[in-house]
Chains A and B, each alone.
Chain A
Amino acid sequence: DIQMTQSPSSLPASVGDRVTITCRASQSINRHLNWYQQKPGKAPKILIYGASNLQNGVPSRFSGSGSGTDFTLTISSLQPEDFATYYCQQTSTTPPYTFGQGTKLEIK
């Protein structure tokens, strides 16, 4: 199975900050990488698919980049509603479609 490793696990930040979360795959997944946001007690929400494609309705302050094994999610200017847990997920040709362990974005 392809393992997904996110860093950091926890990220203290302030409103207005630019933040970056990293996701690394144990082998190349081309650009088959998605990012989700999850708030407490809620289902995950898709933000980015195909490494850099912004899902309809997602604010443009979210962006994704990377290919192969290394990927990043960037929030250009943190808003209060962005404090949540973020997960990467690989959906390369062969299941299982594994998730990273999550990065909790916390108020500093």
Chain B
Amino acid sequence: QLQLQESGPGLVKPSQTLPLTCTVSDGSIISTNYYWGWIRQPPGKGLEWIGHIYFSGRTYYNPSLKSRVTISVDTSENQFSLKLISVTAADTAVYYCARVALYNGWYYFDYWGQGTLVTVSS
């Protein structure tokens, strides 16, 4: 069964860069039917889609974060990554990576990582 695992620092200082990596196991990141995405959830709040990437490198970003976000893919390592620059306390959240399935014209997030809490604080 496909597994996704987020990794990265749990604490980032304000104005610095938040780097996260998602490692995909028991499945290949190279697939025509899937994208690979990031979603975040501030403590006690709802879900926010950050963006996703195709194995070819084509990206889709949330316009509200687009100026600060970069999502990249490393097919040789079966990983994809998130970088969020110039972070503030408002970026404190649980960050999830997920697989985005494309099936019969429908997009949906069918496999998720367990999530990693990133706190922005000095």
Contacts and interface: CB of A to CB of B under 8 A. Distances in A.
A102 B96 CA distance: 17
Interface residues of A, number: 24
A96 B115 contact: no
Nearest to B48: A99
B107 A97 contact: yes
Contacts of B115: 43
Contacts of B109: 34, 36, 44, 46, 89
Interface string A50-66: 10010100000000000
A55 B110 contact: yes
Chain A binding surface, main DSSP class: loop
A95 B49 contact: yes
Given A43-B114, A96-B63, A91 B46 contact: no
Chain B binding surface, main DSSP class: strand
A71 interface: no
Given A95-B61, A96-B64, A46 B108 contact: yes
B109 to A, nearest CB: 6
Interface in A51-94: 53, 55, 87, 89, 91
Contacts of B113: 43
B62 A95 contact: yes
Interface string B32-72: 00000000000000111101000000001111100000000
Interface in B91-122: 96, 98, 101, 103-110, 112-115
Contacts of A34: 106, 108-109
B110 A99 contact: no
Contacts of B64: 1, 96
13 contacts: A1-B64, A32-B106, A34-B109, A42-B114, A43-B96, A44-B96, A49-B101, A87-B46, A89-B108, A95-B51, A97-B107, A98-B49, A99-B48
Interface of B: 46-49, 51, 60-64, 96, 98, 101, 103-110, 112-115
Interface of A: 1, 32, 34, 36, 42-46, 49-50, 53, 55, 87, 89, 91, 95-102
